Amino acid sequence: MSSSPVPEQNPDLTGDAAEIEALRARLEPLLPEAVEDLKDLVRIPSIAFPGHDRDPVHRSAEAVAELLRGAGMDSVSIESVGEGAPAVIGRSPAADGRPTVLLYAHHDVQPTGDPADWTTPPFEPVEREGRLYGRGAADDKAGVMAHVTALRLVGEELARDGVGVTVFVEGEEEAGSPTFRPFIEAHREALAADLIVVADSANWAVGTPALTTSLRGVVDVVVEVRALEHAVHSGLFGGPVLDALTQLSRLLATLHDEHGEVAVEGLVRAPDPAVDMDEADFRRDAGVPDGHALSGSGPLTARLWARPALSVIGIDAPSVRDASNTLVPVARAKVSLRIPPGESPDAAMEALVGHLERHAPATAAVSVRRGERGKPYSASQGSPAMDLARSAFAASWRTPAVDTGLGGSIPFIADLLEVFPAAEVLVTGVEDPESRAHGIDESLHLGEFGRVCLAEALLLRGAGSLGGRPA
């Protein structure tokens, strides 16, 4: 980690030091109960993947609903769309003209892999050395409990202040949120908010909070190269005719330069992030063997968050097992292009298609089918909500929050922004680099969990200063 400059933080937005310390002191006795409630949630194997028993997902939705009722929410219901997994919506509506904050988390979890690989069974939560181990202990049942705990702490105060809170706890995030879009459209009114807090990401390190302020988007295409009308003998016809797979390979090779940088012209690069990561950590996490150089240049965080990345993710061609001495007449590849904030998916798509068409050989017909277009996300900087979040994080951790990015996408964030265009989205989280979300021995740092709860309570309490939607 570098000690780069971080954006300005103004702790005063969340109250003076004495108020903040008073709230910290009131939180302290609530934490043991929060951890016990979290353990109860972790004991429910709520895996929403196809082929898994749905009963635990229903039980975990019930448990979350009960926690929200207990935290004093005015109305709590369990909802689903079609075959979708049950989500929980808790509401305490705003007074007229006052703002509403939507708190998002998910109550479903990843499958565990072989439970024998875990130090202790995944659905039997255990505390060891300041961490709570178990599937979902961090991702994202700790996000659920951060919302519940913040409401236990400041819920009454918010009600007095007329600030509305909606808690939306999804039940199928790890399974790719298949009914997310129809769900939020069906519940558009109940979920409408001025500020959306998505507690499903990670902090920078234990002791250093982070706001996830950028996510890459993604576009993809399928490119087809047709060289011949039909397959022919490679001995009789090879020479004057290049097979389609060779021609496809040559075309795909034009997509990067000799350093491994994306060679498609006209793509946007965002500015380099203020933080960088340790190359050894990255190599370990990615599984890059010793002795293999990395591709591209510049900070790893820039290569991961701020620049385009292009991968060939599949090829249709004869398999090696079925290979015969014929010239392959047609071959296809699916190409995936990650795009940084500032890039338009439409523009990136046309740049990629244009590159493939310009580099098409005269010896084949090349056609490109446009696929998915996912928008990148960039938090609006300098907005009142972002300033408030920075202030709350700085006050809780007693150290400024750093801005981090994610190389991947959180597709439902684009959906939220499209369905609720007036809302601002903040991406926060409970994980730290040791959490191993989705992995073996997933865990939550309990000290960090307390700081997450305090930051969220401070954020909610400060939300009264944000404007509400006109009635």
Determine the interface stretch with Zn ion among 49-57, 194-202, 253-261, 287-295 (rule: CB under 5 A).
194-202
Nearer to Zn ion, 149 or 326 (CB): 149
Residue whose C-alpha is closest to residue 252's, from 369, 336, 339: 336
Determine the interface stretch with Zn ion among 195-203, 360-368, 406-414, 441-449 (rule: CB under 5 A).
195-203
Q: Which of 37, 108, 140, 170 binds Zn ion (CB under 5 A)?
A: 140
Residue showing tokens 């090696």: 320
Nearer to Zn ion, 143 or 155 (CB): 143
- Count, residues near Zn ion per rule CB under 5 A: 3
Alpha carbon separation from 53 to 49, 85, 430 (Å, rounded): 9, 11, 27
Nearer to Zn ion, 140 or 442 (CB): 140
The least distance separating Zn ion from the CB of residue 173, rounded to whole angstroms, comes to 5
* Structure tokens that stand for 291 in this block: 């002795």
Helices (H), 173-274: 180-186, 188-191, 234-237, 244-253
* Residue 456 interacting with Zn ion (CB under 5 A): no
Active site residue 108: yes
* Residue 170 interacting with Zn ion (CB under 5 A): no
The least distance separating Zn ion from the CB of residue 290, rounded to whole angstroms, comes to 31
Q: Which of 108, 170, 194, 200 binds Zn ion (CB under 5 A)?
A: 200
The least distance separating Zn ion from the CB of residue 143, rounded to whole angstroms, comes to 7
Residues of this chain, 263-302, that bind Zn ion according to CB under 5 A: none
The least distance separating Zn ion from the CB of residue 165, rounded to whole angstroms, comes to 21
The least distance separating Zn ion from the CB of residue 137, rounded to whole angstroms, comes to 12
Nearer to Zn ion, 397 or 412 (CB): 412
Determine the interface stretch with Zn ion among 50-58, 79-87, 198-206, 297-305 (rule: CB under 5 A).
198-206
Q: Name residue 206's amino acid.
A: V
The least distance separating Zn ion from the CB of residue 317, rounded to whole angstroms, comes to 36
Nearer to Zn ion, 198 or 395 (CB): 198
Cβ-proximal residues to 356 (8 Å cutoff; 6+ apart), any chain? 221, 223, 251, 335, 366, 368
* Structure tokens that stand for 362 in this block: 């005269």
Q: What are phi and psi of 413, to 5 degrees?
A: -70, -40
The least distance separating Zn ion from the CB of residue 219, rounded to whole angstroms, comes to 24
Active site residue 441: no
The least distance separating Zn ion from the CB of residue 110, rounded to whole angstroms, comes to 8
* Residue 442 interacting with Zn ion (CB under 5 A): no
* Residue 108 interacting with Zn ion (CB under 5 A): no
* Residue 431 interacting with Zn ion (CB under 5 A): no
| Strands of 407-470, DSSP E | 424-431, 443-445
Catalytic residue among 108, 170, 172, 424: 108
Q: Which of 139, 403, 415, 456 binds Zn ion (CB under 5 A)?
A: 139
Residue 247 · residue 256 · CB < 8 Å: no
One-character DSSP codes across 70-131:
HTT-SEEEEE--TTPPPEEEEEEPPPTT--EEEEEEE--B---S-GGGSSS-TTS-EEETTE
Residues of this chain, 109-128, that bind Zn ion according to CB under 5 A: none
One-character DSSP codes across 379-418:
PPTT-HHHHHHHHHHHHHHSSPPEEEEESS--HHHHHHHH
Nearer to Zn ion, 174 or 343 (CB): 174
Cβ-proximal residues to 309 (8 Å cutoff; 6+ apart), any chain? 216, 262, 303, 337, 338, 407
Residue 211 · residue 199 · CB < 8 Å: no
The count of other CB atoms within 10 Å of the CB of residue 29 is 8
* Structure tokens that stand for 342 in this block: 């500032």
Angle at 353 between CA 349 and CA 359, to 5 degrees: 150
- Cα–Cα distance, 25 to 134 (Å, whole number): 28
Nearer to Zn ion, 139 or 432 (CB): 139
Determine the interface stretch with Zn ion among 7-15, 112-120, 121-129, 137-145 (rule: CB under 5 A).
137-145
Residue 133 · residue 442 · CB < 8 Å: yes
Determine the interface stretch with Zn ion among 134-142, 222-230, 251-259, 376-384 (rule: CB under 5 A).
134-142
Catalytic residue among 37, 139, 140, 173: 173
Helix, strand, coil share (%) of the chain residues, nearest 5 = 35, 25, 40
The least distance separating Zn ion from the CB of residue 46, rounded to whole angstroms, comes to 12
Residue 394 · residue 17 · CB < 8 Å: no
Nearer to Zn ion, 27 or 430 (CB): 430
Determine the interface stretch with Zn ion among 79-87, 92-100, 138-146, 385-393 (rule: CB under 5 A).
138-146
Nearer to Zn ion, 70 or 113 (CB): 113
Point out the residues that are catalytic: 108, 173
Q: Which residues bind Zn ion (CB under 5 A)?
A: 139-140, 200
